Amino acid sequence: MKLLVSFFVKIGIFLSGLLPRKVLRLSGSWIGFLWFDVFGFRKKIVLDNLKTAFPEWTDQQRKTVGRESVYQLGYNFGEFFFIPSMTPKWVQENVIFEGWENVEKAREAGKGMFFLTLHLGNGDLAANAISLKGQEICIITKRFKTQWFNDLWFAIRGAQGVKYIDAHGPTNAFDILKALKRNAALVFVLDQYMGKPFGVATTFFGKRTGTAYGLALFAQKAKSPVLPIYTYEGEDGKVHVVVEPAMDLSPYVSEDKDQTVAKVTQAFTDKLEAIVRKHPEQWMWVHRRWKDF
């Protein structure tokens, strides 16, 4: 199995390096078609989530946006094997950075920075574009139990220098603080459900859920800026990477540490909700975001 998968991966990487971006994205449309239109995998979850978030929409509006969001996942997969072939020239021609001056400002402070983000647009492509632009970037993520598959998966995802830190690894905190000392950007993806003991109660689109509080803890400890960042596919056919100014967390800080963590995490959740509202058709609605906390 290992050799077979590796063989097909090498073919995928080779072919992806030859095809135009538009063709690569369309090559993943079959995933969206089978997923949403044929088998309807998690289709009800997608539509129920959209009803929770946008109760004022018609059923047809929710179906249109839900279908497009699933197709976007397919498009993103179509570009996955292209990551090892990315070059600075390709980034210059295909990626538009909005608000990059916010990264430069944070870099000048020399304390590293946190990126608050979500599953919207092609995050892996954006992360590698940022790396090729010269900013060290480390993503906090889960690992696979199968070691050879884990190594293969992250070798592709991080082919252009993106580093990964195990979200639940024994040296997690040390690795994060060490990266900040190198003036790296630490990426926290906070749009998925997280229950106890790693999550706190929050509201998202007005409904109670749970969100990981790790970023709130590290932001208080390191005093490094937290920059909201997201990616979306523009109508111009290019990848847009948007970096917003560092968030002011001072209104949420008090002597009660638990209360501070809860309020800061809610502020992060509110920011992500605002981003989803801008591009709902490109967010990952297939996730069970509103589990009982």
292 belongs to a structural domain: no
Domain span at 227: 87-282
pLDDT digits over 229-288, tens only? Answer: 999 999 999 999 999 999 999 999 999 999 999 999 999 999 999 999 999 999 999 999
Contact (Cβ atoms closer than 8 angstroms) between residue 232 and residue 280? no
Rounded Cα distance, 145 and 148, in Å: 9
pLDDT digits over 60-107, tens only? Answer: 999 999 999 999 999 999 999 999 999 999 999 999 999 999 999 999
Q: Which residue has the tokens 């001056």?
A: 101
45 belongs to a structural domain: no
223 belongs to a structural domain: yes
44 belongs to a structural domain: no
230 belongs to a structural domain: yes
As for how many domains the chain has, the answer is 1
> Is 186 a residue whose pLDDT tops 80?
yes
1 belongs to a structural domain: no
35 belongs to a structural domain: no
pTM: 0.95
What average pLDDT is seen over the chain? 95
28 belongs to a structural domain: no
